[in-house]
Chain A
Amino acid sequence: MNSIKLKKTDVIFDPCTEDVFLPLLKKIFSKEKTEIIDEIIESGLKGRGGAGFPTGLKWKFAAAQSEQEKFVVCNADEGEPGTFKDREILLKVPEKVLAGMAICGYCIGAKKGYIYLRGEYAFMLPQLYKTIDAFKNHLKNLNVDFDIEIRNGSGAYVCGEETSLIESLEGKRGEPRNKPPFPVVEGFSNKPTVVNNVETFVNVVVIQKLGVSEFNKIGTQDSRGSKVFSVSGDTPKPGVFEIELGMKLSDFVEEFGDGDTKAVQVGGASGFCVPRKKFDDTIIGFEGIPTGGSMMLFNSSRSMYNVLHNYLDFFREESCGQCTPCRVGCQQLIEGIKAIKRGDKEESYLDTLKGLAESMKITAKCGLGQSVANSFITITSNFREEMIY
């Protein structure tokens, strides 16, 4: 019964056998570039890393650039706490990721693609190299000129931010750039660059395989397609699950909760904490809470103060230090909640801290500092008493 409510799908992980895959590639690369881009736009696909920018439009912008040299980058720097779905995609269906990158290269006119793989996933390298070699052979047979290289990260969360990732690819500190210019105009080596998440590239292949109209039947009006969720915490079945977008959080908890779920952190430490009383009104998707797929469940034995403390400690450590709101803000937020807990500060100081978090949202340079407020505000508002006593 639950599965009817949740609408599980299997389009991302369905095995990629050569008898299906090779003819599909042949069909795709015989299409006009503009036709593919139009199909991606029509499909309504939005980026799966969390920010949700329309993928087709991103490609269209990059394709319109007159520069000769362009790049495709696959963001495999999956560092959001509670996220591990890209790990599973890269282990199970890496061919689809490579194919998505090559299709992108074909559409925008790029001959080189980089996979920026987080250092924590370096154990995958031997297998990935093999897959890339085999895939390059397929491309050669199809007369597609596209090279793919893997670059490793080295343990910096902020490099998941696309401009910071590009800085790292260029051999620099992973400090985010000012936007605009956006990477589609000036990215790697200041050339037009499309940066997409691992899962986004797979979805491009899914759209090509199913066709736009079939793809559009999955998910909801605002959130087309399925999403790969990373489920962890107080759940009897942690793991990776592919579910249609637009589900109600209460249905999710019914399926994955342990019967005592107090809160669900949607979207990792940079996402939103939803308390039990709001499960029914919360939609997971672009019409509600969009997410990169991290779903962490907490039951009533957990202290939400400890949860917030852990997140803030994480942000304080991973803040690149470039802009003041984030560098100083993260420190002040964690010191602040500690002071309230110790009784050194009044309860009302929590509201001052909320104000600080809100100002970080509008003044921090990149998504890291801007999103600290998401968990800070939702946890301190919904579990205020736990912060104080």
Chain B
Amino acid sequence: MYHHKLKKMTTVKEFIGDLTAKTGTDRSALMPILQAVKENYNYLPEEAMIEIARKLDLSPAQVFGTASFYSFLDTSKRGKYVIRVCKSIIAEMKGKKEIVKALEKHLKIKMGETTTDNMFTLLETNDLGWSDQEPSMLINDTPFTNLTAEKVIEIINNYKTK
């Protein structure tokens, strides 16, 4: 167990070492660093934040404080694909509720949960910038718009076979 953890830590260390070699260790590089770590691990593991703090000569609290401010910098474990359904007033008017229902049923999870195979996490988010094409959602960085209940199932199935 300990050995496993140690091994994993080395990997995180290496990853952050390579990353900061590119970004530099100025505090202004913190956001790009956190974003890259999140992209790689699907969230920000605690040990990664501690290592970033060490590299940037900050306290872990400063790194965690920054990370926890931003809704896309997840500090708890997420699935490989994070689904963020837009919950703006326009999305609500255009049938967001049906989309969420279809996703919950198809993925067999509730809003905020992650599938047992760690593939999908289902979340809500504020305006995605697609009010002309609601309902909409993001899967990681990719937007999907003009959604219908049938369409979301098709999209999810495509991701399952990726």
Residue in contact with B129 in the complex, picked from A83, A269, A317, CB distance below 8 Å:
A83
The reply to whether A84 and B71 form a contact with Cβ atoms under 8 Å apart is no
Residue in contact with A151 in the complex, picked from B32, B69, B125, CB distance below 8 Å:
B32
Q: Does B93 contact A (CB under 8 A)?
A: yes
The reply to whether A174 and B69 form a contact with Cβ atoms under 8 Å apart is yes
Q: Does B111 contact A (CB under 8 A)?
A: no
The reply to whether B131 and A155 form a contact with Cβ atoms under 8 Å apart is no
Query: Can you list, as one digit per residue, whether each of A30-49 has a CB less than 8 Å from chain B (1) or not (0)?
Result: 00000000000000000000
**CB-nearest residue of chain A to B138:** A120
Query: Can you list, as one digit per residue, whether each of A144-164 has a CB less than 8 Å from chain B (1) or not (0)?
Result: 000000011111110000000
Given contacts A82-B88, A171-B29, contact A156 B69 (CB under 8 A): yes
Q: Does B128 contact A (CB under 8 A)?
A: yes
The reply to whether B129 and A120 form a contact with Cβ atoms under 8 Å apart is yes
Given contacts A82-B88, A123-B143, A155-B125, contact A296 B131 (CB under 8 A): yes
A151→B33 CA distance, assembly (Å): 11
The reply to whether A170 and B129 form a contact with Cβ atoms under 8 Å apart is no
The reply to whether B126 and A84 form a contact with Cβ atoms under 8 Å apart is no
Residue in contact with A79 in the complex, picked from B28, B126, B130, CB distance below 8 Å:
B126
A306→B90 CA distance, assembly (Å): 11
The reply to whether B88 and A173 form a contact with Cβ atoms under 8 Å apart is no
Residue in contact with A120 in the complex, picked from B28, B66, B128, CB distance below 8 Å:
B128
Q: Does A258 contact B (CB under 8 A)?
A: no
The reply to whether B31 and A155 form a contact with Cβ atoms under 8 Å apart is no
Query: Can you list, as one digit per residue, whether each of B128-149 has a CB less than 8 Å from chain A (1) or not (0)?
Result: 1111111000100111000000
Given contacts A173-B69, A302-B93, contact A118 B31 (CB under 8 A): no
User: Which B69-126 residues have a C-beta within 8 angstroms of A?
Assistant: 69-73, 87-90, 92-93, 125-126
The reply to whether B66 and A172 form a contact with Cβ atoms under 8 Å apart is yes
A153→B125 CA distance, assembly (Å): 14
Given contacts A83-B129, A156-B71, contact A123 B141 (CB under 8 A): yes
Residue in contact with A84 in the complex, picked from B66, B130, B141, CB distance below 8 Å:
B130
Q: Does B35 contact A (CB under 8 A)?
A: yes
Q: Does B30 contact A (CB under 8 A)?
A: yes
The reply to whether B129 and A84 form a contact with Cβ atoms under 8 Å apart is yes
CB-defined contacts of B87 to chain A, threshold 8 Å:
310
B30 CB to nearest chain A CB (Å): 3
Q: Does A81 contact B (CB under 8 A)?
A: yes
Residue in contact with A306 in the complex, picked from B72, B92, B128, CB distance below 8 Å:
B92
A154→B30 CA distance, assembly (Å): 12
CB-defined contacts of B142 to chain A, threshold 8 Å:
123
Query: Can you list, as one digit per residue, whether each of A366-388 has a CB less than 8 Å from chain B (1) or not (0)?
Result: 00000000000000000000000
CB-defined contacts of B73 to chain A, threshold 8 Å:
154-155
User: Which B1-57 residues have a C-beta within 8 angstroms of A?
Assistant: 26-32, 34-35
B20 CB to nearest chain A CB (Å): 12
The reply to whether A240 and B132 form a contact with Cβ atoms under 8 Å apart is yes
**CB-nearest residue of chain A to B34:** A154
A175→B69 CA distance, assembly (Å): 9
The reply to whether A170 and B28 form a contact with Cβ atoms under 8 Å apart is yes
Residue in contact with B127 in the complex, picked from A80, A173, A233, A239, CB distance below 8 Å:
A80
CB-defined contacts of B65 to chain A, threshold 8 Å:
173
CB-defined contacts of B134 to chain A, threshold 8 Å:
232
CB-defined contacts of A3 to chain B, threshold 8 Å:
none
The reply to whether B132 and A231 form a contact with Cβ atoms under 8 Å apart is yes
A324→B41 CA distance, assembly (Å): 35
The reply to whether A83 and B131 form a contact with Cβ atoms under 8 Å apart is yes
Residue in contact with B72 in the complex, picked from A87, A154, A174, A310, CB distance below 8 Å:
A154
CB-defined contacts of A82 to chain B, threshold 8 Å:
88-90, 127, 131
B residues contacting A by CB (< 8 A) are: 26-32, 34-35, 65-66, 69-73, 87-90, 92-93, 125-134, 138, 141-143
Pick 6 A–B contacts, CB within 8 A, sort by A. Answer: A171-B27, A173-B65, A233-B90, A239-B132, A314-B127, A318-B126
A residues contacting B by CB (< 8 A) are: 78-84, 87, 118-123, 151-157, 168-175, 189, 230-234, 238-240, 269, 294, 296, 298, 302, 306-307, 310-311, 314, 317-318, 320
- Sample of 6 further A-B pairs with CB below 8 A, known A154-B31, A238-B132: A81-B131, A119-B70, A171-B29, A231-B132, A298-B93, A320-B69
